[in-house]
Amino acid sequence: MENREIVIIGGGPAGLAAAAAARQNGAEDILILERDRFLGGILNQCIHNGFGLHTFKEELTGPEYAARYISQVREQNIECRLNTMVLDLSADRVVTCMSRDRGIETIKAGAVILAMGCRERPRGALNIPGYRPAGIYTAGTAQRLMNIEGYLVGRKVVILGSGDIGLIMARRMTLEGARVLAVAELMPYSGGLRRNIVQCLEDYDIPLLLSHTVTDIKGKERVEGIEISEVDAASKPIPGTEKFYEADTLLLSCGLLPENELTRAMGAQICPATKGPAVTDSLETTIPGVFACGNVLHVHDLVDYVSEEAAHAGRSAALYIKRSSASQHRTVPVVTFGGVRYTVPQSIDTLEMDDKLTVRFRVGSVIKDKKLCLYYDDDKVSSVNKRVMAPGEMEQIVIKKDSFNGRDDIKEIRLGIED
């Protein structure tokens, strides 16, 4: 069996940034395993601009953003095995992977970083009535077919779901000569970034129908039409509100799911709200020496935050392989209330944490003119006015290590919304 200091599963933006940071923090022997034939992950198909505003203070396309990290990894001589699928990961950090060239291999890692990204929720998970004709794609598949393979997947398009990929595809299909007739969203608010609603729908006069869903798909061989109805507060279609669109294509943009089959099989605890592993402030999962970052941990809207988080995971993994087991820990759970759906991390080691820690979170519905409050047990330590928070936009709060001084018996950190 091969032995490695750090094995990274996934060569997307998270895996690349984690590798670069692990090397900068002293790890010598790093291996990236990527199932695809390229590094860069999902960014290779995101040819629109808007990436990197935070990290590079420039507007880059997805492939340009990925190229910057690929160059860093190459300059640091970090080994990458492409076309290599990880099949299994055990709790004692043995990675089993397979490639056409090398066959099945097992690698024992000092630390592992999970960076497998996420996948789209498919039609089968959505309960849409109607036949199963050709012309129904997830938005990401349509994006890959268009931007990498060069196919226009349809000419008259309806989109279900207003997540960012759907919004971006509404603009992309329009620019390629298709007509996007409507974007229907089940919820009374969009799941995408405000900037994407403006730049991808409003600028092209594409209607966004909130509280609407697809209630029928017409056509047996190929989609011939899509019926959309309004829904009530319980998300049930309201009879009599049906609208018919003569369309040949339906794109689905109904949410992303972290790719956590390996994580689950290894026995790591999964957070029910994020569907990713539960992690401490060092982004370590409940399996010692296994760290997670990027979309496999929780779905991000901006890749800049993926890179920042992944650099933290890379640094933590590099410290883990050097750390003596003598360190002292005081792990405190982070509990949410009043509309905060989840936080990452889900617990904080108040003795070993960095001087400043960014805690990221999302709310469960649109929240206006309320206060974001942080408690250490029953003691309110901060309260910040928030004009608006929406489920589509990731929020963050910075917690300082010295704020725990004198709180040796703290049981709980609580983050939530109050009037």
Ligand X SMILES: Cc1cc2nc3c(=O)[nH]c(=O)nc-3n(C[C@H](O)[C@H](O)[C@H](O)COP(=O)(O)OP(=O)(O)OC[C@H]3O[C@@H](n4cnc5c(N)ncnc54)[C@H](O)[C@@H]3O)c2cc1C
Residues that bind ligand X (CB under 6 A): 9-15, 33-36, 41-43, 46, 50-51, 85-86, 115-117, 140, 143, 164-165, 168, 259, 294-296, 300, 302-304, 306
**Residue 5 vs 259, nearer CB to ligand X:** 259
The distance of closest approach from Cβ of residue 265 to ligand X in the complex, given in angstroms and rounded to an integer, is: 11
The distance of closest approach from Cβ of residue 65 to ligand X in the complex, given in angstroms and rounded to an integer, is: 8
What are the backbone dihedrals phi and psi of residue 136, each rounded to the nearest 5 degrees, phi first? -115, 120
Q: Please, are residues 2 and 27 in contact by the beta-carbon 8 Å criterion?
A: no
The 3-state DSSP class for residue 316 equals helix
**Residue 41 vs 161, nearer CB to ligand X:** 41
**Residue 167 vs 372, nearer CB to ligand X:** 167
**Residue 180 vs 417, nearer CB to ligand X:** 180
The distance of closest approach from Cβ of residue 47 to ligand X in the complex, given in angstroms and rounded to an integer, is: 10
The distance of closest approach from Cβ of residue 117 to ligand X in the complex, given in angstroms and rounded to an integer, is: 2
- With residue 163 as reference, give the H or E element that holds it: none
**Residue 96 vs 241, nearer CB to ligand X:** 96
What are the backbone dihedrals phi and psi of residue 249, each rounded to the nearest 5 degrees, phi first? -145, 140
The 3-state DSSP class for residue 377 equals coil
**Residue 64 vs 352, nearer CB to ligand X:** 64
Q: Could you tell me how far CA 273 lies from the centroid of its own chain? A: 13
Q: Please, are residues 218 and 227 in contact by the beta-carbon 8 Å criterion?
A: yes
- With residue 320 as reference, give the H or E element that holds it: helix 303-322
| Separation CA 331–CA 389 (nearest Å) | 29
Q: Is 112 exposed, middle or buried (0-12, 13-18, 19+ CB in 10 A)?
A: buried
User: Which tokens go with 38?
Assistant: 């390229």
| Separation CA 117–CA 14 (nearest Å) | 8
Helical residues (DSSP H) of 219-302, grouped into ranges: 261-266
Widest Cα–Cα separation across the chain = 69
The distance of closest approach from Cβ of residue 172 to ligand X in the complex, given in angstroms and rounded to an integer, is: 9
| Separation CA 412–CA 348 (nearest Å) | 10
Residue nearest to ligand X (CB): 12
**Residue 199 vs 241, nearer CB to ligand X:** 199
**Residue 200 vs 217, nearer CB to ligand X:** 200
The distance of closest approach from Cβ of residue 97 to ligand X in the complex, given in angstroms and rounded to an integer, is: 7
> Position 265: which residue type?
A
